[in-house]
């Protein structure tokens, strides 16, 4: 029996995902109660969540599944309380540093045994994001790529090709500038877009491991690798690569510069594609490339914010919870829940397939094959909330006043020391 306990109005039955139960699993006969708390409260994600529970219930008819859907913002304030006081068997959350407080507090179950199973080899690109202290603490269920979306028609008119190296990136940029076109649009009014630029410049300059250590507070902001990242960033700033007055625009308000052809590219997440299409760009005008290599020999890590499922350490039915996590990451389920009619994002299982969408296919290929490089969660998820706030303010300031770098780095380092004690 499957029970939906929700804090929001129930969806109509027609929004449920159709489909029969998947074969597979470990053959365990599951019984008792499986209690799931989810923050997938918007209509499409909620239908996905309810559909997964429905199908899993069909596979295990003796299992009573109780699903509670909680408004996403309310969930963020309630999760620590319910994990501590009356934990469910499965709970939604986020990867990397966002799960660290619950791992450190002993509130999430170690599920490294799942990751040792054969099927989990297809999740290799996300393993680093699920790992703390050498163990895995949950499973991913969806992510999406970041990269450089650009005006292919403008590149073609100017005889430019997609860059693969930093020198090629800068050469393309100079050609664009010589023709009166800014290299990149960006809106930094809300800071996080500048965080995306720092992520990529730092990961391409110093690699994923250094970036992860820096965002975790384990590396100094005054170190030479960090300065090298900002030196690379300044090359673009000094060229005039970015649109003027970007600090006055939101990311959406910066889109028209690219739509009008006044800027040629945008470093952004795949959620922007719908905005480009709605703004009038055709897929013949728009294309995507992976952020190029800066330091030769460093594997390319990517920003791919990842949503996750976890088993609370106080769960009552861990056997059923583990089986549900296996089901969530299965190739069949991943293909179904991430298609365009549902989440419209990327499956985390490399054996899955994706919709016939140019950008989803490019992102899936890029992320499914990048396990040596690593997957970051974006700066404001990988760093603590206070560190992220101070740092992203510094990134925006640097883009406007690059001569302030020494003062900015001193502020960031002082914050790191205050938060980490060394």
- In a domain? residue 370: no
Residues 410 and 277 in one domain: yes
User: Are the beta carbons of 417 and 264 closer than 8 angstroms?
Assistant: no
Instruction: Give pLDDT tens digits for 381-418.
Output: 899 889 999 999 999 999 999 999 999 999 999 999 99
Beta bridge partners of 139: 309
Q: What is the pLDDT of residues 85-126, one digit of tens each?
A: 999 999 999 998 889 999 999 999 999 999 999 999 999 889
Secondary structure class of 108 (helix, strand, coil): strand
Same domain for 232 and 203 = yes
Count structural domains, the chain. Answer: 2
pLDDT tens for 344-384 read: 899 999 999 998 889 999 999 998 877 678 889 999 989 98
Interval 255-304: pLDDT, tens: 999 999 999 999 999 989 989 999 999 999 999 999 999 999 999 999 99
Buried b / exposed e along 225-257 (16+ C-beta atoms within 10 A): bbebbbebbeebeeeebbbeebbebebeebbeb
> What pLDDT does residue 125 have?
87
Identify whether residues 187 and 119 lie together within a single domain: no
Judge residue 291's burial from the number of C-beta atoms within 10 Å of its C-beta, 0-12 exposed, 13-18 middle, 19 or more buried: buried
Q: What is the CATH number for 50?
A: 3.40.190.10
Domain that holds residue 75: 2-142+306-365
| 327 Rama class: left (phi>0) / alpha (psi -120 to 50) / beta | alpha
- 261 and 163 together in one domain: yes
Contact 39, 92 (CB under 8 A): yes
- pTM, two decimal places: 0.84
Is residue 379 a part of any domain in this protein? no
């Amino acid at each position: 029996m499957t029970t939906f306990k929700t804090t929001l109005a129930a969806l109509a039955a027609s929004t449920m995902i159709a489909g029969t139960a998947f074969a597979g699993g470990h053959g365990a006969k599951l019984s008792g109660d499986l209690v799931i708390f989810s923050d997938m409260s918007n209509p499409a994600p909620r239908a996905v969540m309810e559909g997964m529970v429905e199908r899993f219930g069909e596979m295990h008819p003796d299992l009573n599944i109780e699903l509670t859907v909680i408004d996403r913002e309310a969930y963020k304030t309630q999760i620590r309380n319910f994990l501590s006081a009356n934990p469910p068997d499965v709970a939604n959350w986020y990867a990397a540093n966002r799960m660290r407080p619950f791992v450190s507090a002993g509130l999430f179950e170690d599920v490294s045994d799942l990751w040792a199973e054969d099927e989990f080899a297809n999740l290799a690109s996300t393993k680093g994001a699920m790992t703390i202290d050498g163990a895995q603490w949950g499973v991913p269920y969806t992510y999406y790529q970041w990269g450089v979306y650009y005006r292919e028609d403008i590149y073609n008119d100017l005889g430019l090709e997609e860059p693969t190296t930093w020198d090629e990136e800068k050469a393309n940029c100079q050609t664009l500038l010589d023709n009166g076109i800014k290299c990149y649009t960006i809106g930094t009014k809300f800071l996080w877009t500048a965080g995306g630029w720092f992520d990529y410049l730092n990961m391409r300059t110093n690699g994923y491991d250094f970036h992860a250590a820096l965002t975790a507070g384990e590396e100094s902001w005054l170190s030479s690798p960090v300065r090298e990242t900002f030196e690379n960033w300044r090359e673009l700033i000094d060229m005039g690569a970015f649109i003027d007055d970007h600090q006055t625009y939101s990311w959406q308000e910066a889109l028209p510069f690219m739509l009008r052809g006044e800027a040629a590219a945008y470093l952004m997440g795949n959620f922007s594609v719908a905005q480009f299409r709605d703004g009038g760009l055709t897929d013949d005008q728009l294309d995507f490339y992976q952020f190029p290599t800066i330091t030769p020999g460093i594997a390319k890590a990517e920003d791919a914010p990842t949503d996750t499922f976890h088993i609370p350490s106080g769960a009552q039915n861990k056997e059923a919870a583990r089986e549900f996590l296996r089901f969530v990451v299965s190739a069949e389920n991943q293909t179904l829940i991430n298609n365009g009619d549902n989440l419209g994002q990327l499956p985390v299982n490399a054996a899955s397939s994706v919709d016939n969408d140019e950008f989803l296919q490019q992102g899936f290929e890029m992320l499914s094959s990048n396990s040596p490089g690593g997957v970051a969660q974006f700066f404001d998820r990988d760093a603590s909330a206070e560190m992220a706030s101070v740092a992203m303010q510094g990134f925006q300031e640097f883009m406007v006043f690059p001569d302030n770098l020494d003062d900015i780095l001193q502020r960031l380092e002082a914050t790191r020391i205050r938060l980490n004690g060394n």
